Amino acid sequence: SNCSLQSYVPALFPLQEKYPIKKVLVCTYQAISGAGKTFETWPEMIDNVIPYIGGEEEKSEKEPLKLMGQCIRVPVSNGHLGAVFVEFEDKKPTKEEMINIWENFSGRAQELNLPSAPKQFLHYFTEPDRPQIHSERMLEHGMAVSIGRLREDTQYDYKFVCLSHNTLRGAAGGAVLLGELLAAEGYFD
């Protein structure tokens, strides 16, 4: 699983079933670990923001064909943040409906109670300054997705912010969780 997609696609997926999505714009703010680096190996990243990640924007546009966006590298060790703008096809949900869908979403990993699966996959925060990298990236052992700042938008229907741990929820943890799911579903029998 793509680590940048893990910061926002889980928030869009449960909405899509009841409220088909027409268009999405996402800007991701990605940790340096997503480049396979640390502050020790990439000192020019300290106290800096790099507004370009080679190949990432093209990859983000090709993988989920409905999405358009921009990818920016930011000076945090782990945690990808996504600023999401979404427009729905016909019927627009209320903010309360969206939050209710997020808070009550349970995927197959939760249904099977898989060892690496977060008990609650999506967490919505009402505080205007959340989610934050330091306080939310390790939520549910780094396997949950944090959502906040849901509000109406002037060009899209809504905008909100999502956060995930790019290593634990992304590539490494995502691979472990997928292996657990395949085993639970009998694919290794």
**In which band, very low, low, confident or very high, does the pLDDT at 20 lie, cut at 50, 70 and 90?**
very high
**In which band, very low, low, confident or very high, does the pLDDT at 50 lie, cut at 50, 70 and 90?**
confident
pLDDT at 69 over 90: no
Q: Which residues are catalytic?
A: 3, 80
pLDDT of residue 54: 78
pLDDT at 182 over 90: yes
Residue-wise pLDDT tens digits, 132-158: 999 999 999 999 999 999 999 999 999
Q: What is the 3-state secondary structure (H, E, C) of the chain?
A: CCCCHHHCHHHHHHHHHHCCEEEEEEEEEECHHHHCCCCCCCHHHCCCCECCCCCHHHHHHHCCCCEEEEEEECCCCCCEEEEEEEEECCCCCCHHHHHHHHHHCCCHHHHCCCCCCCCCCEEEECCCCCCCHHHHCCCCCCCCEEEEEEEECCCCCEEEEEEECHHHHHHHHHHHHHHHHHHHCCCCC
> How confident is the model over 56-71, as a mean pLDDT?
65
pLDDT of residue 130: 96
pLDDT of residue 106: 94
pLDDT of residue 61: 66
pLDDT of residue 64: 59
Residue-wise pLDDT tens digits, 96-112: 999 999 999 999 999 99
pLDDT of residue 119: 96
> How confident is the model over 1-28, as a mean pLDDT?
87
